[in-house]
Structure formats: structure tokens, C-alpha cells
Structure 1
Amino acid sequence: MDDAPVVVPLEREEVLPSGLVAALVLGLAAVALGRPVLALVSFAVAVVLALALLYLRFGFARVRYWRTVEPTHAFPGETVTLMLALENAKPLPLPWVEVVEELPAALEVAGVALEPSPKPERKVLRTLLTVGAAERVYRRYQARPIRRGYYRFGPARLTTGDPFGLARARLEVAPAGTLIVYPEVRPVESFGLPAERPLGDATPLHPLLEDPLRIQGVRPYQPGDSPRQIHWRASARLGELQTRLLERTATPALALFLDVNTFEHFWEGIRPGELEWAISLTASLAAWGIDQGYQVGLWVNAPLIGGERFIRLLPGRHPRQLQRILEALAMLVPHTGHRIETLLGAETRSLAGGLTVVVVTALVTDALRRTLLALWRQGYGVVLIAVDCAAGLPSRRGLEVYELEVSRAAAA
């Protein structure tokens, strides 16, 4: 409740005060002229107009409206609870409040037919509430997201008025509340990959990684050593530069690179079916890798909503690593003009050897093939997964190539 949005009036009607004055004047004139029926009708009209004016001026005073979504993270098809809450903290009851709540179009609400919205990818939930004096009411809905994404709820438009419907006060509640829908995670064999060894023979030639947290010792600095590996305390003590010797660990690492380009030129748009399938495949590979004990990282040549130009999550063994990867895939914006081979070349220069690079793409270019071959020659394990396109690259030891068809995998 502390995060409830502030309700701001949108609309006021100015005809009621003049109507009320006219009814009172007419009633007094009828009394003076000895017309009791006319006076009674005039004063009744005045009472009704006064009540309408009361609701117009104070209908939304000390009223709060908010919505919550639980849980805030879900997979497609899972059920979430959408709760609308309206609190009236004044002694004046509200006989009716119409709530028009704007929802993501990717959300299905059980038992409710959502109305179309003029905004793209949005729908409207319309409901009617009655709130007594000093009362709080709730309306709960069971909803189901149908596809991955980052979704905001609201704004909402509330309308109330007097019991006779003569006057209406309208106000708007700002958007609040989000839902992150992860990509669908499935067994890797459902995509057409081998169940037991989905990475095939893409084993790095130097499988052991240096662990930067485990220092084995130091040695004199040699040209070509990374400045980041200089042990400055030992260098100061011995009077010459010393390089840290790091222990090697057998923990394998998996670097997932997802390409969101589906056409040669970015202005041609995207193929949403192939792209969403590739995103789901990448999420499933991340889940598989972590389950198999890999340190898994993610790179995507597309930005997060409100984030950096590229998604970049270094391989790690943190317990929340899979959740971070799934959140990034849920929130990526699938529009880019950047090439995946450029991202590969830039990022792998800063990564340690001994990891397996997996590229998921629906667009295999000559430049990408050259980049993957260069990485393979440097000792990386390389896996190319071509989605509904020709890879144009043969498999060999340490380099595994798959050509997967969306329609065939979906039928299986």
C-alpha cells in the first residue's frame, strides 16, 4: 500500500452549482407565490443536485487505488494473480466506481473478455465496484501470460458519481506494477539437439580455466602478460614487476551468444517466430548448462529495456545466475543493427581460454563463419546452431554445427 499511486482528478463539471442555485431560487419563488407542489419539486431537484455536487467535489477525496501482481516473475502459461484494490477512507460511500484498467495484450484473464485498446499491444479490463464509507474492497483475477516479455500495468481510469448518475468525477491512476515473463524453457532434445550431448564434440582444446580468486604464486613479469594479472604488492616488495600465477580449475564454462538479426539488413525487420524460438532455445541451453555444472554466461547483440546497448552477463556460478539470464532474455528488445560476429570478436578477447562458445542465430554470414573458425583455431570449443537457415560450415573436432528447423522441432 505504501507504493499506491496518487489519484489525480481529471475532469470537473461546472454546471451543477448554477443548476442548484436556479432550483433554490425557483423553490423560494414558488413558496412566495403559494405554489406548494412547484416548491416541493424545486427543493427535491435542489437536493438531488446538491448530492450530485457533493459527489463531484468529494467523490475521490481520500480515495486510493492500486494494483498488484503475484508472482512478479513467471513462465508462459503459468498463473498469476492480478489484484485491484480500492480504498475509501471518508464517511461518504461510493455507490458505484467504474474501473478501466489497461493490461498487456499478452495476458489472458480467466473468465473475463478483455476489450480492445487503441494502444498497440494493450487491452482493457473494465469492472464496477461499490465501496462503502471507510471501506476497502478487492477484486482478484487469475491471469495467464502467453509469451515472454516485460510488462507494465496501467494506467487506470476511474469514474464515480452520485446515485442518480447526474454528475461524474473522473480521475487517472499512473502505471504501476510489472510482470517479467521468462522465455519458455524446455528439454534441449525438443529443439532437435541430442539429449545426452547437446554440445556434441565441441570440447575446448584447453579445458582448464584460470580461477582469478585462487592465487598459486608469483613469477617475474614477462612481455605479453596482462596488466590485470600483475601482483602489485609483491612487485613493490621485490622491486620488480611480478605476475600472479593462478590455479586452474576444471569447472567448465559456457558462453552463449544469441543473435537477434534474422535478415541481412536491420530495416527489413525480424522474423518473430524464428527469433522467439531461438530465445527459448538459448534459455533452455542456459538451464541445461547450469544443471550440468557449467559456468554459464550470456551475450546478446540487443539491448535490455532501458539498459545498455548489449546484454552481457559473464560466466558465473552464482545461485541466481540462471534467473539473471532468464530475466535478461525476457527483457531484451529485439531490434538491432549490430552484427553478432562483431560482438563475438570484441568479447572473446577478454574471456579466458578453455570455454565453449555457443552461437544461436537465424542468420549465418560469411563474416560469422570466419569469426567462428578463428575462435576454433584459438582453442575454444565452438557450437553453431543455425535456426531455419544454412550453416555453410562443416562439423569437426571442437566445432559442432547444427541446422535446426523450427517447424520440424515444433511438430516433434
Structure 2
Amino acid sequence: MEFFWLLLIAGVVVLLQALVLGRRSLRQIDYERKLSRSHCHVGDDIEMIEIIQNKRRIPVPWLRLESILPAGFQFGHQAETAISEGTLYQNHTSLFSLSAQTRITRTHQITCRQRGVFHMDSALMSAGDVFGLARANRPLRIETRMTVYPAYTAIDDMPEAYRSWQGEVEVRRWTNEDPFLITGVREYSSGDPMNQIHWKATARTGQLQVYRQGYSADPEVMILFNIEINEQMWRVVTEPMVAEYGLSCCATIAADLIGKGMKAGFGHNAIIATEDEQDARILPAYGSEQLSTLLQCMAEVQLKSRQPFHEFLQSFVPQSSQENEPIHKMDILIVTPHVSQPIKQAITILEQAGSTVSILNVPDIEQLKKSHWNQSVYDKPSRKVSG
């Protein structure tokens, strides 16, 4: 009889603890996740901070936290965390206990290995009683966004053509005529546009005179990136490393130009999140805010072609709404893995319209695999972590 009562009391205790510690175990349990930075470059280290607080006066025997995070985030070792990695995502599972009225902070060291805009806005929290008779689950909505810009490339790792182009831009920086800066008049020369004739000076001297223009110290450079790896590529990029290196070059060029006080813009023919094609081009402007805008645009580039690059180039052919209206011209730098015949034809049209066009060829996959850039940025080994 005594054994029966002992079993009965034990059963009641087990049921009570299941009721108190099981189904109600997630009440007054708060969870918060934040990142040390909202944006960084590929290869940078950041911290993900998790704060879990038990506001109850009753401990939580076990608590499991599951999160789906981007595969491009390389986590440092955490003893209580098991990580299962896939191609696009990795599943993080943590298991621990919480004492009564306890607040714990967990800091994860992360290396960002992949460019892009990442949303980490969900997690699942589970808890239960000591014997696993009852449990509670709570999905968590967490607004966490991380933007990873392309890595900057060392100037020595840039294609040789960039250094030559760099010197040419520096020379043209002080030799480009500025149509809005008038310093005087001069005699008419063959090829001068008729809208530059200074009629009062012509009447006074009896010979055709035109405005003498000053020189622009700030050429406007438009960086145009071709997502197509080769002429046969249909839609999806088959060699992501080539495209990522091209975007890395674009980021380096933009930072270099803006750092020297020049205007820089960016455009591409890749798929974008919005349907507005104008979001795929940022016109040249000055300053650190402009650089942030350009890097954001580069981070959003998806590895799929939106339209053939030669068609994209044709949209930059200067247009004039009036016959005598001066056409706005820019320096155009094309960053591309290949130059097809249609691209050459589009470049010729741009040059005939008065734009200065230069080409920066992106190395092929075999060259990149042997390069220092490959070893230092995108070829870091993935660390498998098990708990």
C-alpha cells in the first residue's frame, strides 16, 4: 500500500511539473537578436548578439532555439550550438537551460563570406518539462537585415587596364571642356557647334567668334557592369566567381573615384528586386553618401541577366530633345568578362555620340582560381560546427 501511495504521489508530482514547466514554460521568456553592424564588405567580421531573458520565478529545464541563417555567414565555434549547412542556408540549433529570473547574452562571431542583402527574420523557440511529457513552441518574428557589399580589391590585384585608365582620367580631368564655364571668346574652328557662336563678338569683329570654355575638374564616370559571363550565357550566371570579381572591381573603382573628389555612377544588366529598370542605374554624383548608394546597388545585384548588355548600353546613347540643345556626355567605364560584336557596335554608337568609353576586362575563371584575390576573399574554407 505504501508503494502504491508513493507511486501516486510521484505521478502527481510529475504531472504538476509537466503542467508548470511544460506548456507554460515559454511565458515571460523574451528573445532579442541584433547585429553589431547593419552593413559590411565581404570578408569582414561582425557579431550577432542574442539576448534571452526568463522573467519568471520558475526555471526552464531546457530551451531549444532554432534559426535559419544564410549559408554565406561563417560562424565561429560555439560549444552549445549545432550547425547544419546547406547550399543557401544553414540551420542553427542551440540547447541550454535558464535559471529563474535570468538574463543571458550570447555573442556569435561571424565572417561574411557572401555578397548580398540578407533578411534573418525568423526563429523557433521550444521548451518543456524535465521528463519531456509536455512542451511549448513559439515562432519568433525578428526584423534583422544585413547588407554585405562587394569586397574591395587591392589595386595590385586589379586588371592592368585599370591603372592605364586611371592615368588617362587624371589627365582628362584637367582637359575636359566645361560647357557651363565660359572664360572668353575665340575664332571659329571647323567642327565647332553652331550653338556656341558668340553673335555679338562676331558682329563686332566681322569674323565668326565662339565661346571659349573653361575646363572641368570633375569628369563624370559611369561604371557599367556586364553580368553576362560569355556571349552564350542565357540567363543564370554559371561562374559566380567571375561575376563577384567584376563587382569587386566596380566597388573599388567607385571608392577610388569618389575618394579623389570625382563623380561616379553605376549601372548593370542584372536582375533586380524591383521591376523598375531605373533602379539598376545610379547617375554620377559626389560624396560618401553616393558611395553608400552605389555599394547598396552592387549588393542587390542578382546573378541573373535582365537584358543583353548591348541593349543596356544603347540606353546610354545621349539624346537631345532639341536640335541645338547640348548633349550631356559622360566617361563610361565598362567592366565586362567578354566583348562581343554587338557590344562593340553599341560602344561605337556611344563614342560617335561623344562619350568616352573604356573597357576593363574581367579575367576568366581559370585565371581567378590562381589569383591572390581568390585565396584571400571568396575561397575561405567553411568551418563545420557541431555541438
User: Shared fold by TM > 0.5?
Assistant: yes
Matched, 1:86 2:52: yes
Higher relative contact order (CA 8 A, sep 6+): 2
Q: TM-score, normalised by structure 1?
A: 0.72
Pair 1:411–1:279, CA change in 2 (3 A): closer
Equivalent residue, structure 2, for 1:45: 11
Equivalent residue, structure 1, for 2:259: 291
Q: Distance in 2 between matches of 1:136 and 1:408?
A: 49
Q: CA deviation at 1:375?
A: 1.5
Equivalent residue, structure 2, for 1:193: 160
Task: Work out which of the two has the higher radius of gyration on C-alpha atoms and give 1 or 2.
Answer: 1
Matched, 1:343 2:312: yes
Q: CA deviation at 1:174?
A: 2.9
Q: Select which of 4, 7, 22 maps to 1:56.
A: 22
Pair 1:307–1:49, CA change in 2 (3 A): farther
Deviation string, structure 1 residues 28-77 (Cα, Å, up to 9, x no partner): xxxxxxx2320221122112112102233311112222211111211222
Equivalent residue, structure 1, for 2:368: 406
1:171 corresponds to which letter in structure 2?
R
Q: CA deviation at 1:269?
A: 4.1
Q: CA deviation at 1:298?
A: 0.5
Q: Distance in 2 between matches of 1:267 and 1:307?
A: 17
Whether contact under 8 Å (1:209, 1:252) holds in the other structure is no
Pair 1:371–1:360, CA change in 2 (3 A): same
Q: Select which of 348, 351, 358 maps to 1:373.
A: 348
Q: CA deviation at 1:256?
A: 0.4
Pair 1:120–1:176, CA change in 2 (3 A): farther
DSSP 3-state at the match of 1:319: helix
Q: CA deviation at 1:319?
A: 2.6
Q: CA deviation at 1:314?
A: 0.9
Deviation string, structure 1 residues 171-212 (Cα, Å, up to 9, x no partner): 22235312211111123331222575434547599834567x
Whether contact under 8 Å (2:115, 2:149) holds in the other structure is yes
Q: Distance in 1 between matches of 2:74 and 2:373?
A: 25
Tell me the C-alpha RMSD between the 2 structures: 3.2
Q: Select which of 104, 107, 114 maps to 2:70.
A: 104
Q: Distance in 1 between matches of 2:259 and 2:373?
A: 26
Deviation string, structure 1 residues 92-149 (Cα, Å, up to 9, x no partner): 32122111222211111112475225x6411122222332333322111111111222
Equivalent residue, structure 2, for 1:12: none
Q: CA deviation at 1:248?
A: 7.8
Whether contact under 8 Å (2:254, 2:291) holds in the other structure is yes
Q: Distance in 2 between matches of 1:157 and 1:314?
A: 43
DSSP 3-state at the match of 1:320: helix
Whether contact under 8 Å (1:301, 1:311) holds in the other structure is yes
Equivalent residue, structure 1, for 2:331: 356
Percentage identity across paired residues of the two chains: 20
Q: Distance in 1 between matches of 2:240 and 2:18?
A: 52
Matched, 1:301 2:269: yes
Matched length: 334
Structure 2 unaligned residues grouped into runs of 5+: 184-193, 196-212, 321-326, 375-387
Matched, 1:281 2:249: yes
Whether contact under 8 Å (1:66, 1:84) holds in the other structure is yes
Q: Select which of 291, 298, 315 maps to 1:329.
A: 298
Q: CA deviation at 1:254?
A: 0.6
Q: Distance in 2 between matches of 1:258 and 1:196?
A: 18
Q: Distance in 2 between matches of 1:40 and 1:407?
A: 71
Structure 1 unaligned residues grouped into runs of 5+: 1-34, 217-223, 226-245, 390-403
DSSP 3-state at the match of 2:223: strand
Q: Distance in 1 between matches of 2:173 and 2:270?
A: 27
Pair 1:210–1:157, CA change in 2 (3 A): farther
Pair 1:362–1:377, CA change in 2 (3 A): same
Pair 1:71–1:249, CA change in 2 (3 A): same
Pair 1:257–1:173, CA change in 2 (3 A): same
Q: Distance in 1 between matches of 2:66 and 2:175?
A: 60
Whether contact under 8 Å (2:65, 2:124) holds in the other structure is yes
DSSP 3-state at the match of 1:333: coil
